[in-house]
Amino acid sequence: MIAETVDALVRDVIAPRAAEIDRTAAFPRDVYAAMAAAGLFAATVPESYGGVDIGLRALFETVEQIAAASASCAMLLGNCGDGVGALVHGGSDEQRARVLPRIADGSAIPCFCLTEPGAGSDAAALTTTAVPDGRAWRLTGSKLYITNGSVGDVFCIWARTEAGISCFLAERGAEGLLVGRDEDLLGLRGLPATELHLDGCRAELVGSDGDGFRLAMATLDEARLNIAACALGTARGALTHALDHARTRVAFGQPLIRHQGLGFLLADVVTEVAAARALWLQAIDAVAESHDRAASIRCALAKNACCNAAMRATTEAVQVLGGAGLTRDVPVERFFRDAKTFQILDGTTQIQQLIISRHLERQGLPF
Ligand SMILES: Cc1cc2nc3c(=O)[nH]c(=O)nc-3n(C[C@H](O)[C@H](O)[C@H](O)COP(=O)(O)OP(=O)(O)OC[C@H]3O[C@@H](n4cnc5c(N)ncnc54)[C@H](O)[C@@H]3O)c2cc1C
Protein backbone atom coordinates (compact mmCIF):
# COMPACT_ATOMS: atom_id res chain seq x y z
CA MET A 1 0.00 0.00 0.00
CA ILE A 2 2.85 2.37 0.87
CA ALA A 3 4.70 1.51 -2.34
CA GLU A 4 1.53 2.18 -4.39
CA THR A 5 0.98 5.55 -2.67
CA VAL A 6 4.60 6.54 -3.31
CA ASP A 7 4.39 5.27 -6.88
CA ALA A 8 1.45 7.60 -7.57
CA LEU A 9 3.20 10.51 -5.84
CA VAL A 10 6.34 9.96 -7.91
CA ARG A 11 4.40 9.62 -11.16
CA ASP A 12 1.99 12.54 -10.66
CA VAL A 13 4.00 15.05 -8.62
CA ILE A 14 7.72 14.33 -8.36
CA ALA A 15 8.80 13.03 -11.78
CA PRO A 16 7.14 15.92 -13.69
CA ARG A 17 8.95 18.45 -11.46
CA ALA A 18 12.38 16.77 -11.17
CA ALA A 19 14.18 18.48 -14.08
CA GLU A 20 12.83 21.91 -13.19
CA ILE A 21 13.86 21.57 -9.53
CA ASP A 22 17.39 20.69 -10.71
CA ARG A 23 17.50 23.57 -13.22
CA THR A 24 16.17 26.31 -10.94
CA ALA A 25 17.62 24.94 -7.68
CA ALA A 26 14.49 26.31 -6.00
CA PHE A 27 13.26 24.48 -2.89
CA PRO A 28 10.19 22.43 -3.98
CA ARG A 29 7.60 23.48 -1.38
CA ASP A 30 4.81 21.98 -3.47
CA VAL A 31 6.52 18.57 -3.38
CA TYR A 32 7.14 18.89 0.37
CA ALA A 33 3.42 19.63 0.85
CA ALA A 34 2.40 16.67 -1.33
CA MET A 35 4.73 14.35 0.59
CA ALA A 36 3.31 15.66 3.87
CA ALA A 37 -0.24 15.12 2.63
CA ALA A 38 0.67 11.53 1.76
CA GLY A 39 1.82 11.13 5.38
CA LEU A 40 5.43 10.32 4.52
CA PHE A 41 7.12 12.51 7.14
CA ALA A 42 5.14 10.75 9.87
CA ALA A 43 7.28 7.68 9.14
CA THR A 44 10.32 9.48 10.65
CA VAL A 45 8.60 10.08 14.01
CA PRO A 46 7.62 7.58 16.77
CA GLU A 47 3.90 6.77 17.01
CA SER A 48 3.62 8.25 20.49
CA TYR A 49 4.49 11.68 19.04
CA GLY A 50 2.19 11.74 16.02
CA GLY A 51 4.21 9.43 13.78
CA VAL A 52 3.44 6.15 12.08
CA ASP A 53 5.69 3.15 12.58
CA ILE A 54 6.17 1.59 9.15
CA GLY A 55 9.59 0.16 10.08
CA LEU A 56 13.00 1.29 8.91
CA ARG A 57 13.02 -0.92 5.83
CA ALA A 58 9.75 0.46 4.42
CA LEU A 59 10.94 4.01 5.19
CA PHE A 60 14.27 3.58 3.42
CA GLU A 61 12.70 1.72 0.49
CA THR A 62 10.37 4.72 0.11
CA VAL A 63 13.42 7.01 -0.04
CA GLU A 64 14.97 4.68 -2.65
CA GLN A 65 11.75 4.67 -4.72
CA ILE A 66 11.58 8.48 -4.80
CA ALA A 67 15.31 8.79 -5.62
CA ALA A 68 14.80 6.81 -8.83
CA ALA A 69 12.98 9.94 -10.08
CA SER A 70 14.60 12.73 -8.02
CA ALA A 71 17.34 12.43 -5.41
CA SER A 72 16.63 15.98 -4.20
CA CYS A 73 13.01 15.04 -3.45
CA ALA A 74 14.10 11.76 -1.83
CA MET A 75 16.35 13.79 0.45
CA LEU A 76 13.36 15.84 1.64
CA LEU A 77 12.25 12.66 3.39
CA GLY A 78 15.74 11.32 4.12
CA ASN A 79 16.91 14.54 5.72
CA CYS A 80 13.79 14.67 7.86
CA GLY A 81 15.03 11.53 9.63
CA ASP A 82 18.47 13.12 10.14
CA GLY A 83 16.90 16.32 11.47
CA VAL A 84 14.82 14.58 14.15
CA GLY A 85 17.38 11.90 15.07
CA ALA A 86 18.81 13.68 18.11
CA LEU A 87 15.34 14.45 19.49
CA VAL A 88 14.14 10.89 18.93
CA HIS A 89 17.27 9.41 20.56
CA GLY A 90 17.84 11.97 23.32
CA GLY A 91 15.11 14.63 23.60
CA SER A 92 12.98 15.05 26.72
CA ASP A 93 9.31 14.03 26.61
CA GLU A 94 8.37 17.69 26.65
CA GLN A 95 10.68 18.54 23.70
CA ARG A 96 9.46 15.56 21.69
CA ALA A 97 5.80 16.36 22.37
CA ARG A 98 6.37 20.01 21.38
CA VAL A 99 8.35 19.42 18.18
CA LEU A 100 7.84 15.96 16.70
CA PRO A 101 4.10 16.16 15.83
CA ARG A 102 4.86 19.22 13.64
CA ILE A 103 7.62 17.29 11.86
CA ALA A 104 5.27 14.33 11.38
CA ASP A 105 2.54 16.40 9.70
CA GLY A 106 5.05 18.33 7.57
CA SER A 107 4.30 21.73 9.13
CA ALA A 108 7.90 22.08 10.40
CA ILE A 109 11.13 21.22 8.56
CA PRO A 110 13.98 19.90 10.75
CA CYS A 111 17.72 20.44 10.19
CA PHE A 112 20.80 18.53 11.36
CA CYS A 113 23.54 21.10 12.09
CA LEU A 114 26.93 19.52 12.75
CA THR A 115 29.38 20.55 9.97
CA GLU A 116 31.38 23.78 10.34
CA PRO A 117 33.74 25.65 8.02
CA GLY A 118 36.71 24.15 9.94
CA ALA A 119 35.18 20.78 10.91
CA GLY A 120 33.60 18.44 8.34
CA SER A 121 34.90 14.87 8.38
CA ASP A 122 36.58 15.61 11.71
CA ALA A 123 33.30 16.57 13.37
CA ALA A 124 34.81 16.28 16.86
CA ALA A 125 36.98 19.32 16.03
CA LEU A 126 33.93 21.61 15.98
CA THR A 127 34.47 24.99 17.60
CA THR A 128 30.95 26.35 18.07
CA THR A 129 30.61 27.05 21.78
CA ALA A 130 27.64 26.95 24.12
CA VAL A 131 27.46 28.68 27.50
CA PRO A 132 24.58 28.52 30.00
CA ASP A 133 22.26 31.52 30.20
CA GLY A 134 19.71 30.90 32.93
CA ARG A 135 17.63 27.89 31.90
CA ALA A 136 18.73 28.29 28.26
CA TRP A 137 22.11 28.31 26.48
CA ARG A 138 23.85 30.75 24.12
CA LEU A 139 25.61 29.33 21.04
CA THR A 140 28.37 31.11 19.11
CA GLY A 141 29.95 29.90 15.85
CA SER A 142 29.08 28.96 12.24
CA LYS A 143 27.61 25.92 10.52
CA LEU A 144 28.01 25.02 6.84
CA TYR A 145 26.15 22.93 4.21
CA ILE A 146 23.11 22.55 6.44
CA THR A 147 20.46 20.76 4.40
CA ASN A 148 17.24 22.81 4.31
CA GLY A 149 18.85 25.45 6.55
CA SER A 150 17.26 28.38 4.68
CA VAL A 151 13.78 26.83 4.81
CA GLY A 152 14.14 25.02 8.15
CA ASP A 153 11.99 25.50 11.23
CA VAL A 154 13.68 23.30 13.83
CA PHE A 155 17.47 23.13 14.22
CA CYS A 156 19.41 20.48 16.14
CA ILE A 157 22.80 22.13 16.60
CA TRP A 158 26.00 20.61 17.97
CA ALA A 159 28.30 22.80 20.09
CA ARG A 160 31.07 22.51 22.64
CA THR A 161 30.43 23.03 26.37
CA GLU A 162 32.72 22.51 29.38
CA ALA A 163 31.43 18.91 29.51
CA GLY A 164 32.29 18.18 25.85
CA ILE A 165 30.15 18.14 22.69
CA SER A 166 26.44 18.63 23.31
CA CYS A 167 23.32 18.92 21.18
CA PHE A 168 20.95 21.89 21.30
CA LEU A 169 17.54 22.72 19.91
CA ALA A 170 16.64 26.10 18.42
CA GLU A 171 13.59 27.15 16.43
CA ARG A 172 13.44 29.44 13.39
CA GLY A 173 13.48 33.04 14.57
CA ALA A 174 15.44 32.27 17.76
CA GLU A 175 17.44 35.25 18.96
CA GLY A 176 20.96 35.08 17.40
CA LEU A 177 20.14 32.42 14.77
CA LEU A 178 21.14 34.00 11.46
CA VAL A 179 20.52 32.21 8.18
CA GLY A 180 23.30 32.80 5.63
CA ARG A 181 23.60 31.94 1.94
CA ASP A 182 22.73 28.70 0.14
CA GLU A 183 25.60 27.07 -1.78
CA ASP A 184 25.23 26.64 -5.56
CA LEU A 185 26.03 22.91 -5.73
CA LEU A 186 26.82 20.42 -8.51
CA GLY A 187 24.17 17.95 -7.37
CA LEU A 188 21.10 17.65 -5.15
CA ARG A 189 19.99 20.98 -6.52
CA GLY A 190 16.79 22.39 -5.03
CA LEU A 191 17.80 21.07 -1.64
CA PRO A 192 19.32 24.10 0.12
CA ALA A 193 22.80 23.62 1.64
CA THR A 194 22.94 26.61 3.95
CA GLU A 195 25.40 28.54 6.05
CA LEU A 196 24.16 29.36 9.57
CA HIS A 197 25.66 31.98 11.87
CA LEU A 198 25.15 31.61 15.59
CA ASP A 199 25.59 34.95 17.29
CA GLY A 200 24.73 34.11 20.87
CA CYS A 201 21.89 31.96 19.52
CA ARG A 202 19.39 31.10 22.25
CA ALA A 203 18.86 27.33 22.38
CA GLU A 204 17.92 24.53 24.76
CA LEU A 205 19.93 21.41 25.61
CA VAL A 206 18.90 18.07 24.05
CA GLY A 207 19.78 15.06 26.23
CA SER A 208 22.50 15.49 28.82
CA ASP A 209 25.40 17.92 28.69
CA GLY A 210 28.39 16.23 26.96
CA ASP A 211 26.29 13.47 25.34
CA GLY A 212 26.10 15.18 21.93
CA PHE A 213 28.68 13.13 20.09
CA ARG A 214 26.82 9.91 20.93
CA LEU A 215 23.56 11.47 19.69
CA ALA A 216 25.24 12.60 16.45
CA MET A 217 26.66 9.14 15.82
CA ALA A 218 23.32 7.41 16.58
CA THR A 219 21.69 9.77 14.07
CA LEU A 220 24.46 9.24 11.50
CA ASP A 221 23.98 5.46 11.31
CA GLU A 222 20.45 5.93 9.99
CA ALA A 223 21.51 8.97 7.97
CA ARG A 224 24.03 6.79 6.12
CA LEU A 225 21.35 4.24 5.29
CA ASN A 226 19.25 7.11 3.95
CA ILE A 227 22.06 8.28 1.71
CA ALA A 228 22.61 4.69 0.61
CA ALA A 229 18.87 4.54 -0.23
CA CYS A 230 19.20 7.71 -2.33
CA ALA A 231 22.27 6.27 -4.05
CA LEU A 232 20.49 3.00 -4.88
CA GLY A 233 17.46 4.84 -6.26
CA THR A 234 19.70 7.10 -8.31
CA ALA A 235 21.55 4.07 -9.71
CA ARG A 236 18.21 2.44 -10.58
CA GLY A 237 16.99 5.61 -12.32
CA ALA A 238 20.17 5.90 -14.40
CA LEU A 239 20.33 2.18 -15.24
CA THR A 240 16.68 2.14 -16.35
CA HIS A 241 17.50 4.78 -18.98
CA ALA A 242 20.76 3.04 -19.92
CA LEU A 243 19.00 -0.30 -20.44
CA ASP A 244 16.21 1.23 -22.52
CA HIS A 245 18.85 2.78 -24.73
CA ALA A 246 21.09 -0.30 -24.90
CA ARG A 247 18.15 -2.51 -25.90
CA THR A 248 16.80 -0.22 -28.62
CA ARG A 249 19.71 1.72 -30.08
CA VAL A 250 21.23 -0.12 -33.02
CA ALA A 251 24.90 0.20 -33.97
CA PHE A 252 26.84 -2.01 -36.37
CA GLY A 253 23.65 -3.94 -37.17
CA GLN A 254 22.54 -4.91 -33.67
CA PRO A 255 21.25 -3.43 -30.39
CA LEU A 256 24.05 -1.98 -28.25
CA ILE A 257 23.47 -4.53 -25.49
CA ARG A 258 24.44 -7.38 -27.87
CA HIS A 259 27.90 -5.84 -28.22
CA GLN A 260 29.81 -7.66 -25.54
CA GLY A 261 31.78 -4.56 -24.53
CA LEU A 262 28.56 -2.83 -23.39
CA GLY A 263 26.53 -5.91 -22.40
CA PHE A 264 29.22 -7.14 -20.00
CA LEU A 265 29.78 -3.62 -18.69
CA LEU A 266 26.09 -3.39 -17.78
CA ALA A 267 26.20 -6.90 -16.28
CA ASP A 268 29.07 -5.91 -13.97
CA VAL A 269 27.45 -2.63 -12.95
CA VAL A 270 24.13 -4.32 -12.15
CA THR A 271 26.02 -6.98 -10.12
CA GLU A 272 27.69 -4.23 -8.06
CA VAL A 273 24.42 -2.42 -7.41
CA ALA A 274 22.61 -5.65 -6.46
CA ALA A 275 25.43 -6.65 -4.08
CA ALA A 276 25.46 -3.17 -2.51
CA ARG A 277 21.69 -3.36 -2.07
CA ALA A 278 22.02 -6.68 -0.23
CA LEU A 279 24.56 -5.11 2.17
CA TRP A 280 22.19 -2.20 2.70
CA LEU A 281 19.30 -4.53 3.61
CA GLN A 282 21.57 -6.32 6.11
CA ALA A 283 22.55 -2.98 7.65
CA ILE A 284 18.90 -1.89 7.95
CA ASP A 285 18.10 -5.11 9.85
CA ALA A 286 21.13 -4.57 12.12
CA VAL A 287 20.18 -0.96 12.97
CA ALA A 288 16.52 -1.88 13.49
CA GLU A 289 17.74 -4.32 16.15
CA SER A 290 20.36 -2.22 17.92
CA HIS A 291 22.49 0.91 17.60
CA ASP A 292 25.65 -0.94 18.63
CA ARG A 293 29.12 -0.89 17.08
CA ALA A 294 28.38 -3.93 14.89
CA ALA A 295 25.43 -2.09 13.35
CA SER A 296 27.60 0.99 12.73
CA ILE A 297 30.10 -1.11 10.78
CA ARG A 298 27.32 -2.53 8.64
CA CYS A 299 26.09 1.03 7.94
CA ALA A 300 29.62 2.08 6.88
CA LEU A 301 29.92 -0.96 4.59
CA ALA A 302 26.50 -0.24 3.09
CA LYS A 303 27.13 3.47 2.57
CA ASN A 304 30.51 2.81 1.03
CA ALA A 305 29.22 0.10 -1.31
CA CYS A 306 25.98 1.83 -2.35
CA CYS A 307 27.53 5.25 -3.02
CA ASN A 308 30.42 3.80 -5.01
CA ALA A 309 28.05 1.52 -6.94
CA ALA A 310 25.83 4.50 -7.74
CA MET A 311 28.80 6.58 -8.89
CA ARG A 312 29.92 3.76 -11.22
CA ALA A 313 26.38 3.02 -12.42
CA THR A 314 25.63 6.65 -13.28
CA THR A 315 29.04 7.16 -14.91
CA GLU A 316 28.57 4.09 -17.12
CA ALA A 317 24.94 5.04 -17.83
CA VAL A 318 26.20 8.30 -19.34
CA GLN A 319 28.66 6.22 -21.40
CA VAL A 320 25.95 3.84 -22.65
CA LEU A 321 23.83 6.76 -23.86
CA GLY A 322 26.74 8.33 -25.71
CA GLY A 323 26.14 11.97 -26.66
CA ALA A 324 22.53 11.75 -25.44
CA GLY A 325 23.85 10.98 -21.94
CA LEU A 326 25.44 14.41 -21.78
CA THR A 327 22.27 16.29 -22.73
CA ARG A 328 19.47 17.44 -20.45
CA ASP A 329 16.93 15.64 -22.66
CA VAL A 330 17.40 12.61 -20.43
CA PRO A 331 18.02 12.82 -16.67
CA VAL A 332 21.11 10.61 -16.69
CA GLU A 333 23.53 13.53 -16.38
CA ARG A 334 21.51 14.72 -13.34
CA PHE A 335 21.73 11.27 -11.75
CA PHE A 336 25.50 11.37 -12.39
CA ARG A 337 25.87 14.76 -10.64
CA ASP A 338 23.66 13.67 -7.74
CA ALA A 339 25.65 10.45 -7.29
CA LYS A 340 28.84 12.44 -6.67
CA THR A 341 27.27 14.23 -3.71
CA PHE A 342 26.47 10.91 -1.99
CA GLN A 343 30.18 10.09 -1.79
CA ILE A 344 30.61 13.29 0.26
CA LEU A 345 27.70 13.95 2.59
CA ASP A 346 26.98 12.19 5.90
CA GLY A 347 30.57 10.89 6.00
CA THR A 348 32.71 10.80 2.86
CA THR A 349 33.89 7.59 1.18
CA GLN A 350 37.21 7.98 3.03
CA ILE A 351 35.47 8.31 6.40
CA GLN A 352 33.57 5.06 5.75
CA GLN A 353 36.90 3.46 4.81
CA LEU A 354 38.39 4.82 8.04
CA ILE A 355 35.56 3.33 10.14
CA ILE A 356 35.90 -0.03 8.37
CA SER A 357 39.70 -0.15 8.47
CA ARG A 358 39.76 0.71 12.22
CA HIS A 359 37.32 -2.14 12.80
CA LEU A 360 39.55 -4.48 10.77
CA GLU A 361 42.56 -3.45 12.84
CA ARG A 362 40.83 -3.88 16.22
CA GLN A 363 38.43 -6.74 15.67
CA GLY A 364 39.06 -8.35 12.29
CA LEU A 365 36.48 -9.15 9.64
CA PRO A 366 32.96 -7.82 10.28
CA PHE A 367 31.26 -10.89 8.78
C1 LIG B 1 24.74 18.33 -0.30
C2 LIG B 1 25.31 18.33 1.08
C3 LIG B 1 24.46 18.34 2.17
C4 LIG B 1 24.99 18.33 3.46
N5 LIG B 1 24.11 18.38 4.53
C6 LIG B 1 24.62 18.48 5.78
C7 LIG B 1 23.71 18.65 6.90
O8 LIG B 1 22.48 18.69 6.76
N9 LIG B 1 24.25 18.79 8.13
C10 LIG B 1 25.60 18.77 8.35
O11 LIG B 1 26.01 18.89 9.50
N12 LIG B 1 26.48 18.61 7.31
C13 LIG B 1 26.01 18.48 6.04
N14 LIG B 1 26.87 18.33 4.96
C15 LIG B 1 28.30 18.35 5.22
C16 LIG B 1 28.96 17.02 4.92
O17 LIG B 1 28.62 16.05 5.88
C18 LIG B 1 30.47 17.31 4.84
O19 LIG B 1 30.66 18.03 3.63
C20 LIG B 1 31.29 16.06 4.86
O21 LIG B 1 31.23 15.46 6.13
C22 LIG B 1 32.76 16.35 4.49
O23 LIG B 1 33.28 17.42 5.20
P24 LIG B 1 34.08 18.59 4.42
O25 LIG B 1 33.22 19.03 3.30
O26 LIG B 1 34.48 19.60 5.43
O27 LIG B 1 35.34 17.89 3.81
P28 LIG B 1 36.72 17.57 4.57
O29 LIG B 1 36.41 16.95 5.89
O30 LIG B 1 37.56 18.80 4.56
O31 LIG B 1 37.34 16.48 3.62
C32 LIG B 1 37.98 16.81 2.38
C33 LIG B 1 38.51 15.52 1.79
O34 LIG B 1 39.48 14.93 2.68
C35 LIG B 1 39.12 13.59 2.97
N36 LIG B 1 39.52 13.24 4.34
C37 LIG B 1 39.23 13.91 5.48
N38 LIG B 1 39.73 13.25 6.54
C39 LIG B 1 40.38 12.15 6.05
C40 LIG B 1 41.09 11.07 6.64
N41 LIG B 1 41.24 10.97 7.96
N42 LIG B 1 41.60 10.12 5.83
C43 LIG B 1 41.43 10.19 4.49
N44 LIG B 1 40.77 11.17 3.88
C45 LIG B 1 40.23 12.15 4.64
C46 LIG B 1 37.60 13.55 2.81
O47 LIG B 1 37.14 12.23 2.55
C48 LIG B 1 37.42 14.46 1.60
O49 LIG B 1 37.65 13.73 0.43
C50 LIG B 1 26.37 18.31 3.65
C51 LIG B 1 27.22 18.30 2.56
C52 LIG B 1 26.71 18.30 1.29
C53 LIG B 1 27.65 18.31 0.12
What's the pLDDT score for residue 363? 94
Question: pLDDT at residue 218 above 90?
Answer: no
Please give the C-alpha separations between residue 248 and each of 142, 271, 333, in angstroms, as whole numbers. 52, 22, 20
CATH topology of domain 110-208: Butyryl-CoA Dehydrogenase, subunit A; domain 2 (2.40.110)
Task: Please work out whether the CB of residue 155 comes within 6 Å of at least one atom of ligand 1.
Answer: no
Looking at residues 101-114, what average pLDDT do you find?
97
Q: Where are the domains of the chain?
A: 2-104, 110-208, 213-363
What's the pLDDT score for residue 209? 97
Q: Which atom of ligand 1 is nearest to the CA of 113?
A: 11
Is residue 184 annotated as part of the catalytic site, yes or no?
no
Task: Judge contact between 228 and 311, C-beta under 8 A.
Answer: no
Mutate to test the pocket of ligand 1, among 27, 84, 121, 356 (most ligand atoms within 8 A of CB): 121
Please give the C-alpha separations between residue 169 and each of 206, 293, 358, in angstroms, as whole numbers. 6, 26, 32
User: Where residue 367 falls among pLDDT bands split at 50, 70, 90?
Assistant: confident
pLDDT digits (tens, 9 = 90+) for 81-91: 889 999 999 99
Please tell me the distance from the alpha carbon of residue 249 to that of residue 241, in angstroms, as a whole number: 12
Question: pLDDT at residue 299 above 90?
Answer: yes
213-363 shares the fold of 110-208: no
Mutate to test the pocket of ligand 1, among 343, 348, 353 (most ligand atoms within 8 A of CB): 348
Residues 6+ apart with CB under 8 A from 254: none
Q: Where are the alpha helices (DSSP H) in 10-161?
A: 15-24, 29-37, 56-67, 71-90, 93-104
Q: Does domain 2-104 have CATH number 3.40.50.150?
A: no
- 3-class SS of residue 85: helix
Task: Judge contact between 230 and 63, C-beta under 8 A.
Answer: yes
pLDDT digits (tens, 9 = 90+) for 6-65: 999 999 999 999 999 999 999 999 999 999 999 999 999 999 999 999 999 999 999 999
Please tell me the distance from the alpha carbon of residue 83 to that of residue 190, in angstroms, as a whole number: 18
What distance in angstroms lies between residue 174's CA and the mean position of ligand 1's atoms? 27
Task: Please work out whether the CB of residue 147 comes within 6 Å of at least one atom of ligand 1.
Answer: yes
Task: Judge contact between 208 and 306, C-beta under 8 A.
Answer: no
Check 22, 30, 82, 184 and give the catalytic one: 82
| CATH of region 213-363 | 1.20.140.10
pLDDT digits (tens, 9 = 90+) for 136-177: 999 999 999 999 999 999 999 999 999 999 999 999 999 999
The backbone torsions φ and ψ at residue 343, rounded to the nearest 5 degrees and listed phi first, read -75, -5
What's the pLDDT score for residue 291? 83
Residue with CA at minimum distance from ligand 1 atom 23:
120
What's the pLDDT score for residue 307? 98
What distance in angstroms lies between residue 156's CA and the mean position of ligand 1's atoms? 18
Q: pTM for the full model?
A: 0.97
Q: Which atom of ligand 1 is nearest to the CA of 187?
A: 1
What's the pLDDT score for residue 137? 98
Question: pLDDT at residue 125 above 90?
Answer: yes
User: Where residue 366 falls among pLDDT bands split at 50, 70, 90?
Assistant: confident
